[in-house]
Structure 1
Amino acid sequence: MTTASTPRSGAPRAVLADDERLMREQLRARLTEAWPELEIVAEARNGTEAVELVEQHRPDVVFLDIRMPGMTGVDAARQIAQMDVGDDGVLPEIVFITAYDQYAVEAFEQGAADYVLKPAERERLKVTVERIRKRLADRQGEAGDAGEGAGQAAPPLQQLLHRLSGQLGGLGVAGVQAKPAYLQWIQATVGQAIQMIPVDEVLFFISDEKYTRVQTATVEALIRKPIKELVDEIDPQRFWQIHRSTLVAVNAIAGVTRDFRGRQIVAVKGHTQKLEVSRSYAHLFKGM
């Protein structure tokens, strides 16, 4: 693990993660050509180091090799997506480094993240750099983009991570892609009883330090599973993560407004609960 102890500046910052040293060196050299102002603050040899370095340096961009020993780049991205970035922070942009895989490349076209094919070709890297530059620039005007109503949102990062995870380990019989098995029922505590709650009936999940509250239109229950585990077990097309501690059913979103502090607030159909959207997930309601 290598790291540069340079002070925080106005230049964009990046962390590189690849278990192959030559690949890291090549990517660093070509990024220097394509994006001279980018400050590469650290390099990791595996997913675990990548997560630690992102936690330490809070970069604007993370370049993650998809296939690394131990923790894959997808697993690392999942942990990064669950980091507590603070009231003023946002999650870094994710760029995956991958050998050519048609299915993976198609997944990236959703736009939740970008990719660089091995070896990093100069022209394709320029495209990635321009996309990331635009996203970072767009963040500056993001605060004024929320309005009322839940319009069509960009596909969240968690959907891409679920799909890529399936590409890495979800091949079924005869090489056919296996469909992810998402939770259908929640076994929860309601008063002194254990109750089976259909996931279809859940409006939202909210976690505190010990428990996660499961809320339906008629039932409020508790489970011991944290949000960071639920996001891997719940269908990301049906539930959006809008805060590190909150998942909300997409079809239960009645609208999105701003409070007096400028925070996005989700109203839930058939319930009085108001759910705060953290800045890291503000893109879900952009352009409404």
Structure 2
Amino acid sequence: MRIIIADDEPLLRHHLGKLLEDISPELHIVASVGDGTQALEKIQSLQPDVVFLDIRMPGLDGLQVASALNKQNIQTNIVFVTAYDDHAIEAFEEGAIDYLVKPIDETRLLKTTKRLQSAQHRSTPNDDLLDLIRQTQSPQFDSLTWLRVAKGEDIHLIHVDEVVLFKAEDKYVTVVTDDAEYIIRTPLRLLAQQLCGNTFWQIHRSVIVRVSAISRVSKDDMGKMFVETVAGNTRLPVSRSAHSLFKQM
């Protein structure tokens, strides 16, 4: 099975490629590109069996690439890979055979590859895929225990008990521990659903902090509240809707 990976993050392309190669020696990565325009060109020239498409990319996004493939009647199976779960229905309207939400779970990816290996031609939505849409639109999460995080070109596995805070920044979430900082692509709102509410508090739309790591709470002259953690002297803003969390402190 010949595969193209299209994602604007080199680290994520590398990680997905390694996962696929580990799953089966029959999965061959024939190209890895960083934007939608390159993806469309490589698909046209290489005619892969499968393309893993990030939805949000520079130039053409993943949905636009899929639409172009449909118009040109290029027969390749599409798997959308994204950090966001709000495009599932659009993805299947463009003929996706599957839809993966980052961070990619190896068990979930294995199911995808089995579906791909059993597909004899380009797939169209069926009952199984409609079930998947419902799952991605209303995900049910288990409590988060381990995190796969990136630091430079390396992937680390850290326990959630090591985390002091999560801070959303651009496309990434920075994961801060006592002695290091890492990045992940999981949206903060998804992390909030997987973290224990008695252990972690979301004090701002961009910050989740471990309660036991809070060393000080203060207000400025304008009444804005801030917290400081044991990890350093950085003042973290507290939204007004979260002020009530600190009434008993």
TM range (shorter): 0.3 to 0.5
Give the TM-score normalised by structure 1.
0.37
Higher relative contact order (CA 8 A, sep 6+): 1
Give the TM-score normalised by structure 2.
0.42
